[in-house]
Amino acid sequence: MTELKDIVGKFAICGTVSEIKPLGEGLINDTYKVRTAEADQPDYVLQRVNDAVFPDVDMVMRNIDAVTSHIRKKLEEKGEEDIDRKVLTFIPLKEGGKKLYAQVDGKYWRIMIFIPDAITKQAVNPESSRAAGKAFGNFQAMLADIPVQLGETIKDFHNMEFRLQQLREVVKADPVGRVSEPRVQEMLSQIDSRADEMCKAERMGREGILPKRVCHCDTKVNNMMFDKNDNVLCVIDLDTVMPNFIFSDYGDFLRTGANMVAEDCPDMEKVQFNVEIFKAFTEGYLSSASSFLTRVEIENLPYAVKLFPYMQCVRFLWDYLSGDKYWKCQYPEHNFVRANNQLHLLLSIEAHEEEMNAFIKRQS
């Protein structure tokens, strides 16, 4: 097997590698920190891209190249300082033109500059939610005029009609005999009764009243870097950047950020929607995104808040009924618990619907 330092050696980095050790606890890609010996040379982050989740790594890296180059240009035009901390910098191969990844022993690797003096956060409060809303809105705003068409790195990733279709297929095939469980039947009927309402985005897309824009599609607070004074430096984890309805970025952040507990907390009474987080994130988001959002997009933000817990409930249930192939499980019921948690989050959100609608009206 090729050693990590030989893989690093394929890239046009500066400095002499002194140490390579695992970094972070991401579940999808394997990540390492690469230290260089020289104080005046940057350190780097080496990553193996999971090609089971992202089958077209070339497309992923072309998207990332287009997005980071465009953001860099915008920051330069604005005369920003310290740009290497405000956008990710991927390093090309020594040989291979401008290619930003190496294929070694059938695996895919890439390397980027390590951003010094930056932190990530795991939990949000209203203040960091506001900052996150502003940062993700700004990310979309900067990419609104990107001159290239990005690829869809995971086909139909946030397409609700497709996710329901996937669920229906596994219910029909019932490969591990879990469909007849009464709790599964109960959940399926909760899902069915909302299916039509939740596919509204796809219908509006077909009617031509809802555009797709460049979205991040994994808007969690831990996908942003902050400086020591709590200012957002940049958005990271760009593998899922692709054209989508803006609901993806807005709704998926609140799915995790505004849940009072983790998405796999088994105590359903504790699963509650935090309205203060919703308000702060929305204000932050609209402060940077209202310049390009349409009325239809803004009016439907409360729908987006419901859509993502619903979609995640469908996806977790699909995996439970498939035999737990997509998400790693610590115990046999894990995926069901996750699905149930998302359903309870949805119920809590539904109880706040009027309040959310009134709040959004006041903003526009």
Among 1, 27, 39, 52, binds ligand GN1 (CB under 6 A): 27
CA 234 to chain centroid, in Å, comes to 14
Q: Which of residues 190-249 bind ligand GN1 (CB under 6 A)?
A: 218, 240
* Amino acid making up residue 189: S
Among 20, 28, 262, 268, binds ligand GN1 (CB under 6 A): 28
Fill in the per-residue mask, 250 to 289: x = in contact with ligand GN1 (CB under 6 A), - = not in contact.
-------------x--------------------------
312 forms part of the interface with ligand GN1 (CB under 6 A): yes
Query: Bridge partners of 11?
Result: 93
H or E, element range at 3: none
324 forms part of the interface with Mg ion (CB under 5 A): no
Tally the C-alpha atoms within 13 A of residue 261's C-alpha that lie toward its C-beta.
17
DSSP code at position 41? S
53 forms part of the interface with ligand GN1 (CB under 6 A): yes
Q: Among all chains, which residue has been given the structure tokens 């010094």?
A: 116
Nearer to ligand GN1, 36 or 240 (CB): 240
Q: Which of residues 234-273 bind Mg ion (CB under 5 A)?
A: 237
Q: What does the alpha-carbon distance between residue 342 and residue 349 come to, in Å, rounded to a whole number?
A: 10
* Amino acid making up residue 267: D
Q: From the list ligand GN1, Mg ion, none, which binds 324 (C-beta under 5 to 8 Å, kind-based)? A: none
Q: At its nearest, how many Å lie between Mg ion and the CB of residue 239? A: 8
Residue 39: phi and psi, rounded to 5, are: -65, -30
Q: From the list ligand GN1, Mg ion, none, which binds 53 (C-beta under 5 to 8 Å, kind-based)? A: ligand GN1
Q: At its nearest, how many Å lie between ligand GN1 and the CB of residue 291? A: 27
Nearer to ligand GN1, 138 or 240 (CB): 240
Neighbour tally for 154: CB within 10 Å: 15
Q: Which of residues 197-236 bind Mg ion (CB under 5 A)?
A: 218
Q: What does the alpha-carbon distance between residue 112 and residue 92 come to, in Å, rounded to a whole number?
A: 9
Q: At its nearest, how many Å lie between ligand GN1 and the CB of residue 165? A: 17
Q: Mention every residue, 6+ apart, whose C-beta is less than 8 A from residue 307.
A: 160, 198, 201, 247, 251
Token pair of 184, please? Answer: 């599964």
Q: From the list ligand GN1, Mg ion, none, which binds 312 (C-beta under 5 to 8 Å, kind-based)? A: ligand GN1
Nearer to ligand GN1, 11 or 318 (CB): 318
CA 121 to chain centroid, in Å, comes to 15
Q: At its nearest, how many Å lie between ligand GN1 and the CB of residue 76? A: 30
3-state secondary structure labels for all residues of 241-269: CEEECCHHHHHHHHHHHCECCCCCCCCHH
Nearer to Mg ion, 75 or 235 (CB): 235
297 forms part of the interface with Mg ion (CB under 5 A): no
User: What is the chain's percent helix, strand, coil content, to nearest 5?
Assistant: 50, 15, 40
The residue ranges that bind Mg ion (CB under 5 A) are 218, 237
The residue ranges that bind ligand GN1 (CB under 6 A) are 27-28, 53, 154, 218, 240, 263, 312
